[in-house]
Amino acid sequence: MALDEIDKKILRLLQQDAHYTLKDIANKINLSLTPVHDRVKRLEKDGIIEKYVTLLDKKKLGNNLTVYCQVTLTKQTYDTSEGFNQAILEMPEVVECNYVSGNFDYMLKIIIPDMESYHHFHQKKLSVLPEVSLINTVFVISEVKSTTVLPI
Amino acid sequence: MALDEIDKKILRLLQQDAHYTLKDIANKINLSLTPVHDRVKRLEKDGIIEKYVTLLDKKKLGNNLTVYCQVTLTKQTYDTSEGFNQAILEMPEVVECNYVSGNFDYMLKIIIPDMESYHHFHQKKLSVLPEVSLINTVFVISEVKSTTVLPI
DNA sequence: ATTTTAAACAGAATAATTTTCTGTAAAAAT
DNA sequence: ATTTTTACAGAAAATTATTCTGTTTAAAAT
């Protein structure tokens, strides 16, 4: 499962654009179609390549507000955590949720149309969870960087 | 640029899998190839569809540590902000950077191999920036959710 | 109200891409 | 030294994307 330099070149290209054709990639790295094809299939099978997705423009879809929620649970037990996790997985506006170290338990990232939507989310969906004790909101004023590209 | 229900169905599918073929999509929404093709092209042209990317398994690539950095700048001026932004854009381990409200100025998300790498990043790359005054690190203990899918 | 125009779609033809197949050369294993 | 495996090239086949032609529908224009 070790990656050689050719694998890395392929991954770097595919991270940028999932619609590069095998021919595109083959040309860029000076190989024929066969090895590129075989390597991509291997990378998919090994799970290095997780999936191919389409990224949409959140603002053009009307999602003009991004916020981080720092959530503290009522109890630090397994059941409480699990209950919270399951609830979060059902909420489409929560695009990231991580259990973290520090003064609070979870860091959430929320993408939502506007402040009114956030008010509703906060009051009617998040704070009402029995597992939630405290919510501290950090509002995103301006996005500097957001990438799915991992360094290879 | 208004999206009808068919556009939304197409976007929902493409968000999940950028490798769905036009035929796949056409079948799933009961249409012929032509309108699906035309609509996808329109959504690309209008920038609703931003790009197609490949998501890789960060752990299989050796990135076993995720952290949030809460950064405070030395001064809240435009030049300081711009200098910081430019520096961040050059750092591949920083996958998210947002200017935020609250007790600090920026929220960063860092993906990196291990604690030693983070130590190096913190001491030699981030804290040395002239714009940076304070860094508070929040370590991710466990990832609950991470998606590129926006609610439509 | 009737014609015109434009928009949305179906189906077929063409072009491009992916996938499979065949074969070769070099490296690794026995 | 022989066999096996791995990595690759090139060609053929299958699938997919793209283009073209034509129909229907609804809106727009006259």
**What is the pLDDT, as a whole number, of residue A45?**
95
Mutual angle of helices A33-45 and A5-16, in 10-degree steps: 80
**What is the pLDDT, as a whole number, of residue B1?**
74
Mutual angle of helices B22-29 and B33-45, in 10-degree steps: 110
Asked if B54 lies within 8 A of A14 by C-beta distance, the reply is yes
Q: B87: which chain A residues are within 8 Å (Cβ-Cβ)?
A: none
Mutual angle of helices B5-16 and B33-45, in 10-degree steps: 80
- 10 Å CB burial of residue B44 (0-12, 13-18, 19+) is middle
Mean pLDDT on B75-87: 97
Give the whole-angstrom CA distance, residue B140 versus residue B151. Answer: 25
**What is the pLDDT, as a whole number, of residue B68?**
98
DSSP classification of residue B30: T
Q: What does the pLDDT look like over B117-148, one tens digit per residue?
A: 999 999 999 999 999 999 999 999 999 999 99
**What is the pLDDT, as a whole number, of residue A1?**
75
Mean model confidence pLDDT for chain B: 97
Q: A63: which chain B residues are within 8 Å (Cβ-Cβ)?
A: 150-151
H helix intervals, A65-112: 78-89
Alpha carbon B27 to chain centroid, angstroms: 31
Mean pLDDT on A85-97: 98
Give the whole-angstrom CA distance, residue A13 versus residue A26. Answer: 11
Give A47 CA → C22 C1' in Å.
29
- For residue A92, the one-letter residue type is P
Give the whole-angstrom CA distance, residue A133 versus residue A115. Answer: 22
CA distances from B54 to A7, A99, B13, B37, B150 (A): 14, 25, 15, 21, 17
Q: A52: which chain B residues are within 8 Å (Cβ-Cβ)?
A: 17-19, 52-55
Measure B85 CA to nearest chain A CA, in Å: 6
Interface subset of B 42-101, CB within 8 angstroms of A: 46-58, 60-61, 63, 66, 68, 85, 88-89, 92-101
Scanning every strand, the nucleotide with its C1' closest to B33's CA turns out to be C10
> Among candidates A27, A25, A55, which has minimal Cα distance to A43?
A25
* A22 shares contact with chain B (CB less than 8 Å): no
Whole-model pTM? 0.95
Q: What does the pLDDT look like over A102-140, one tens digit per residue?
A: 999 999 999 999 999 999 999 999 999 999 999 999 999
Nearest residue on chain A to B62, alpha-carbon basis: A152
Mean pLDDT on B11-35: 97
**Which single residue is written with the structure tokens 């291997």?**
A42
Alpha carbon A128 to chain centroid, angstroms: 25
Catalogue the E-assigned strands of chain B. Answer: 49-56, 65-73, 94-100, 106-112, 132-146
Q: What does the pLDDT look like over A10-27, one tens digit per residue?
A: 999 999 999 999 999 999
Task: Point out the residue nearest to C21 (C-alpha to C1').
Answer: A34
Given B63, B93, B141, which is nearest A101 (Cβ)?
Answer: B141
Asked if A97 lies within 8 A of B144 by C-beta distance, the reply is yes
H helix intervals, chain A: 5-16, 22-29, 33-45, 78-89, 115-120
Q: Provide the CB-side half-sphere exposure for A14 (13 A, CA).
A: 29
Write down all domains in chain A, each with its CATH number in brackets.
5-45 (1.10.10.10), 65-139 (3.30.70.920)
- 10 Å CB burial of residue B73 (0-12, 13-18, 19+) is buried
Scanning every strand, the nucleotide with its C1' closest to A19's CA turns out to be C17
Scanning every strand, the nucleotide with its C1' closest to B36's CA turns out to be C9
Task: Point out the residue nearest to C8 (C-alpha to C1').
Answer: B35
CA distances from A68 to A5, B91, B133 (A): 37, 22, 22
Task: Point out the residue nearest to C18 (C-alpha to C1').
Answer: A22
**What is the pLDDT, as a whole number, of residue B2?**
87
